Amino acid sequence: MDPPRGGAGGGAGRGAGRGGGRGFVQHRPLTPWKVFYAGANFRHERPQKGRYRSFDQVGVEVLGSDDADLDVEVIALAWRFFAALGLRQVRLVLNTLGEHEDRRRYTEAVRAHLEAHSGGLSEAAIETLARNPLRVLDSKRAEDAAVVACAPTIAEFLSAGASEHFGRVKHGLDVLGIPYVIDERLVRGLDYYRRTTFEFVAPALDAAQNAVGGGGRFDGLAEAMGGKPTDGIGFALGVDRILLAADAEGAFPAPTFAMDAYVVDLTGGDAARDITHELRAAGLSADRRFGGGSMKAQMKAADRSGAEYAVIVGPDELVAGEVTLRRLRHHSDRAGGSAQERVRATDWSIASSRRRAIRLLPSKPPLRAGGPSGTDQEQGIS
């Protein structure tokens, strides 16, 4: 299935639905049809800050149901995704575009308002008005702010059915503990978008375009693409913007790496080459210093490496067929064992002493089963 094209800024998800809609019309699967996608998208217009000519999106789409609880399920999935990444400042912005007739009457009212106040609009907004009046409401330009602020709102045109559907969505989000903000200026310019529309914004981004994802109902899409009338909802999340937001929040701390062993060779380098290879072959992380150096210099390098142990080979060890294991890190929770031990080897491939070294070196802690502790809300975005 082709990914949707033309989403906003690696983030706002205005292209959500096209890829799934195309696949649905072509293959006519059983409903409800739930799919996800991930892929590259390409932008024609000049990129702004936080936008790229080529960007990646991930998203989900569900076709075949108009149930408001499905809207809640899709929004909650995206919410948990942001929470799992550790993003705490993301906000959910919510609105409804009503039914098809509601949207049509609203669009005409917006058009009439903007045309009556066109003298207060920028040239870019006037050009957009000729193509799609609702898109003018998206304008972030200062010269358009006054006219946009006093434009009609969709709430004035909602039918009883659309109001009931939106009320059910809000109730579901309240029950799940997912906070949201109603923004009656949040619209989708494409005609196939109806009823629920939403956006995720990241205040941590300093760009004017701070949406990291968004979507809504595209109940008119399948019909517009030549298929039977089919309800659908989905979202697209912009990977590039999400990474920028994660950096801004410090959500991804620098990874820590604990090396198992650092080989200190005072005998010319052959032993370091062979022992490092054997340790790595045994599944241990190991490193060494190249170019030789004094005992002091090599031990300093071993300490800087963060290794748990230094594996030391000096002239005495070489003659005796041994290595010295010196513990470089002391842990209060690791009982027993001396700070330094000599281990006998049969040869410098340490085929037999390797097993002894593995026993002496600290074992890696097992991975814990399950995910992070706490509920989704405890781990969620505040």
Cα→Cα distances 286→31, 273, 282, Å: 54, 11, 10
Three-class secondary structure of residue 232 per DSSP: strand
What is residue 97's DSSP assignment?
Answer: -
Contacts 24+ apart (CB under 8 A), 120-129: 120/144, 120/146, 120/147, 121/147
**In angstroms, rounded to a whole number, what is the distance separating the alpha carbons of residues 258 and 189?**
52
Return the structure tokens found at 373: 């502790």
Asked whether 196 and 71 are in contact (CB, 8 A), the reply is yes
Q: Give the predicted TM-score (pTM) of the model.
A: 0.65
Q: Indicate the burial class of 16 (C-beta count within 10 angstroms; 0-12, 13-18, 19 or more).
A: buried
Q: Where are the domains of the chain?
A: 18-99+159-249, 261-359
Per-residue pLDDT of the chain (382 residues; tens, 9 = 90+): 333 333 333 334 444 555 566 666 666 767 788 888 888 877 776 765 556 677 788 899 988 888 999 999 999 999 999 999 999 999 999 999 888 888 888 888 888 998 888 888 888 888 888 888 888 887 778 888 888 888 888 888 888 999 999 999 999 999 999 999 998 878 775 666 788 999 999 988 876 678 889 999 887 666 666 667 778 899 999 888 898 888 888 888 777 777 889 999 998 878 888 888 888 888 888 999 898 889 999 999 999 998 988 999 998 888 887 888 898 876 544 444 457 788 765 433 333 344 444 444 444 443 333 333 333 333 333 3
**In angstroms, rounded to a whole number, what is the distance separating the alpha carbons of residues 38 and 237?**
9
Three-class secondary structure of residue 275 per DSSP: helix
**Which residues, including other chains, have CB under 8 Å from residue 184's CB and lie 6 or more apart?**
95, 153, 154, 155
Q: Write out pLDDT tens, residues 272-301.
A: 888 888 888 888 889 998 988 899 999 999
What superfamily would CATH give domain 261-359? Anticodon-binding domain (3.40.50.800)
What superfamily would CATH give domain 18-99+159-249? Bira Bifunctional Protein; Domain 2 (3.30.930.10)
The 10 Å Cβ neighbour count of residue 203 is: 12
Q: How do 261-265 and 309-313 pair as beta strands?
A: parallel
